[in-house]
Homo-oligomer: A and B are copies of this chain.
Amino acid sequence: MRVVVPYAAEEPKTRLADTLSSDERTAFAEAMLADVLAAVRAIGRDPEILATAPVEADAPVTVDPRPLTEAVNAVLAETDEPVTVVMADLALATPGALAALFDTDGDVVLAPGRGGGTNAVVARHPEFRADYHGTSYLDHLDAARAVGAGVEAVDSHRLATDVDERADLAEVLIHGGSAPRGGRDSSSGADPREASRARSWLRRAGFGLADDAGRTTVERDAGFASRS
């Protein structure tokens, strides 16, 4: 089983441009990537990175500058062994959530993302191909059926939460690396002993939870905001 983590190495996380500078977005994206790689390794799998440009990371890197769909399908085409594709911005992914993905039987197993995306796919059928355009979750259901593959979905908030925009940062502060049994520091949620790299990065960058008309959002300490 190959475990491929696609990573947009150039100008990652552009939808966070209202919140983070370009350098900050790169650093935060790298922290999320490191979290995903660590979670994959924690369940005994060897992740590999599929990057649009060279990137320094603690895993083998294949560079393919093509769009996501084409790059992933090149991997699917070059092997008949099962391939799992896990997005690099799943900052809430834990070993347990990924284990549930890998433990689900099915020729094709999908982890839907919020808003119709596909945040992880286990492709055990050699003819399955990806299509990340549009509402990819529905397209992947169709693509699996089109090749006669049985499809299963994994129901996981952690895997459904890709971190794209400012509101998603609250999810990282609330759930990033936390185990519900642990204690927590009062301002930010999860047990700091178990905080993910992405959550720690946000905390160091001055982010905390805020309440905005009943919704939990994030705010940034003014000392940081003025420098960014």
Interface residues, chain A, CB within 8 Å of chain B?
96-97, 100, 110, 112, 114-117, 134-135, 137-138, 141-142, 145, 150-153, 155-161, 167, 170-171, 174-175, 180-181, 183-184, 189, 209, 211, 215-217
| Cα of A153 to Cα of B215 in the assembled complex, Å | 20
Distance of A94 from chain B, by nearest CB (Å): 8
Question: B170 contacts A97, CB within 8 Å?
Answer: no
| Cα of A138 to Cα of B209 in the assembled complex, Å | 11
Residue in B closest to A183 when the chains form the complex, CB atoms: B145
Quick one: which of B116, B150, B174 contacts A138, CB cutoff 8 A?
B174
Q: Given A180-B141, A216-B135: A112 and B189 within 8 A (CB)?
A: no
Question: A216 contacts B116, CB within 8 Å?
Answer: yes
Question: A216 contacts B115, CB within 8 Å?
Answer: yes
Give the chain B neighbours of A156 by CB distance below 8 A.
155-157
Report the copy number of this chain in the oligomer: 2
| Cα of A216 to Cα of B139 in the assembled complex, Å | 12
Question: A135 contacts B180, CB within 8 Å?
Answer: no
Question: A114 contacts B211, CB within 8 Å?
Answer: no
Quick one: which of B135, B189, B209 contacts A174, CB cutoff 8 A?
B135
| Cα of A100 to Cα of B154 in the assembled complex, Å | 13
Give the chain B neighbours of A189 by CB distance below 8 A.
135, 138
| Cα of A19 to Cα of B209 in the assembled complex, Å | 28
Residue in B closest to A215 when the chains form the complex, CB atoms: B115
| Cα of A211 to Cα of B177 in the assembled complex, Å | 32
Q: Given A160-B160, A211-B135: A110 and B174 within 8 A (CB)?
A: no
| Cα of A151 to Cα of B151 in the assembled complex, Å | 33
Distance of A121 from chain B, by nearest CB (Å): 12
Give the chain B neighbours of A174 by CB distance below 8 A.
112, 116, 135, 137-138
Give the chain B neighbours of A112 by CB distance below 8 A.
157, 174-175
> 17 A-B residue contacts at CB 8 Å?
A96-B155, A110-B180, A112-B175, A114-B157, A114-B161, A115-B171, A116-B174, A116-B216, A138-B189, A141-B180, A150-B181, A151-B181, A153-B180, A156-B157, A157-B157, A157-B160, A160-B160
